[in-house]
Chain A
Amino acid sequence: MIEIIEAGPFNTVQDLGRPGYRDIGVSASGAMDPLAVRIGNILVGNDDGAAAIEVQTFPFKLRFEARVAFAVTGADGHPVLDGRELLPWCTHVAETGQILELRQPPTLARAYVVVGGGLDVPVLMGSRSTALRGGFGGNSGRPLVDGDRIEIGTHSDALPLPASGIAVVEPTVALRDVFPAPVDGVLPIRAIAAGEHELFASDGEAFWNQAWRISSRSDRTGYRLSGEPIKPTATIEMRSHGVVPGVIQVPPGGEPIIQMSDANTAGGYPKIAGVIECDLWRLGQARIGSRLRFIRSTHAEARAVEQTAARYIEDVRQTSQMIKRALKAMT
């Protein structure tokens, strides 16, 4: 059991999401940075899809009501356990009664608290993710509030954790060759032209050439971008069609919206481009007020990046297993 001591308004229980129900209008939801959840779960010995806490408003505090292994992944900055700074992206063991505090990270947006055994909230439609738009799943379909108590699942991994923990080189460092760092504070985000790109004529070029700012009216559903508006050459009334996270729609005002984890499942606004799936976690870690630029990408490039990220995940999995097996052999 954990008890939430201090939570901002937008922290939720999330796993890797609830895909497969878009055809009945249910958003997949899931962590905005699924890579951080996967790595965290591997570190503490959970299945990849165990549920974690997504923290996006800081400070955040919780109390452990039992001895449990945990890791904090996602954002940069150091978690604090009973006043002591800890390494992020590393396993630790909390004793009953200890308090974990997460402070505002220096540059990134979202931290994940992953516990051994995962958060034991009910599985609804195949997932423990909070569906904020539908008001179900996760912790009673709503963000965490002070005083919430959440059960922890049974830990099935028989392999012991080293006393000093297991740490990983975080993705922004380990994968910097395929996920280039911001240039002059502008984050490069790769996208592929979508259905109505041509409708924007020369404004289509303006879309790729300018740096957009993530507006304060942005959340898990979508990021609204501020910049020089882009307009289609004709007004069309589109028939409603399925959409997925990453789709960049342009409403009549001319400022694009990127659909994120709690994306609408259908849309009718003209689509200028779609962010490649492997870059979505970087958007998930981009803060309100920060800037980004869209880079034209291809399926081949997306595939290469996905494969590199998958190799990194597999490498973390293999290495952590190896360390734990070696430790078990010694005891």
Chain B
Amino acid sequence: MTVTSNILASSRVIVPATKGRARVSFIGARAFLLEVPGDFDLPAQRRIWALSQTVRRWVDIAEVIPGMTNLLSILKETPEDPEIVVGRLLEAWNNAESLDLTGKSIDIPVHYGGDYAIDLPAICDFSGLSDREVVRIHHEATYRVFALGSAPGFGYLHGLDPRIYMPRKTVPSLRMEKGCVTIGGMQTGVAMLTGPNGWNSLGYAELQMFDPTSPTPALMAPGDTVRFVPARIEL
């Protein structure tokens, strides 16, 4: 899965970071990251969802954080022998069946273009498409929530058309507005906080997606289906 462009081909090629076997690496002494090989697709993520359910049941696990075809497991205590944990994780991955989380459907009204679409010209340059085409390709797709993370309630959405893949910025925007609809590499999502952000904005959504006082604070959950509905297109 490689995307190149005439201008940026030499330095900004998108290469999946995982090839070959699943691998487990460390973050500090208690956190173990399992990354799975192969394509960035729904079948791989369904196995991550299954693995997540298995690992959650282990008595020595404090927290499990599914990512995009990867899983971070945080242990309650630092293990004496990390290789045993690595072995258990790899074995659980090898045995993981496919799990299709049946989620809800969420429609997100989007104002494409306009003041918040600060990176739309760059996306056009990179993809070689017109702004109208980029917007159409973005809202015609149906997305799955693969995982949440990065900001409260932020959903990583899979299903972006490879024609509009767009690398994260080398220098992040210092102050991207909450609500910006963005593309980061092979992923798309809606910014949940105003602040530094390395993704590329092509529109804006007003829908509130996080409420800390609710028993279910995040609107999105892994497995949900998301559609972006153009409320307005301003190009």
Contacts and interface: CB of A to CB of B under 8 A. Distances in A.
A299 interface: yes
Nearest to A276: B29
A134 B167 contact: no
Main secondary structure on chain B at its contact with chain A?
Answer: loop
Interface string B67-105: 111111010011111100000000000000000000000
Contact of B153 (A25, A237, A242): A25
Contact of A274 (B17, B28, B67): B28
Contact of B33 (A192, A236, A241, A276): A241
B151 interface: yes
B182 interface: no
A300 B80 CA distance: 6
Interface string A6-22: 00000000000001111
Contacts of B20: none
Interface stretch (B8-16, B117-125, B134-142): B8-16
Contacts of A20: 62-63
Contacts of A243: 27, 72
Given A192-B26, A299-B29, A303-B29, A240 B212 contact: no
Contact size range, B: 35 or more
Given A25-B192, A247-B28, A268-B185, A237 B218 contact: no
Interface string A254-265: 000000000011
Nearest to B3: A237
Contacts of A193: 26
Contacts of A266: 65, 67, 147, 149-150, 156
Given A24-B148, A25-B148, A134-B212, A239 B17 contact: yes
B168 interface: yes
B11 A235 contact: yes
A236 B17 contact: yes
Interface in B1-51: 11-18, 23, 25-31, 33, 35, 40
Nearest to A133: B193
Interface in A63-98: none
A159 to B, nearest CB: 30
B17 A277 contact: no
B68 A244 contact: no
B152 A268 contact: no
B184 interface: yes
Contacts of B225: none
A244 B217 contact: no
B126 interface: no
B63 A194 contact: no
Contacts of B193: 133-134
Contact of A240 (B63, B67, B80): B67
B154 interface: yes
Nearest to A302: B29
B31 A274 contact: yes
Contact of B79 (A191, A234, A299): A299
Contacts of B79: 299, 303
B229 interface: no
A238 interface: yes
A191 B74 CA distance: 16
Interface string A82-121: 0000000000000000000000000000000000000000
A2 interface: no
Interface of A: 19-26, 124-125, 131, 133-134, 136-137, 191-196, 234-244, 246-247, 252, 264-268, 271, 274-278, 297, 299-300, 302-303, 306
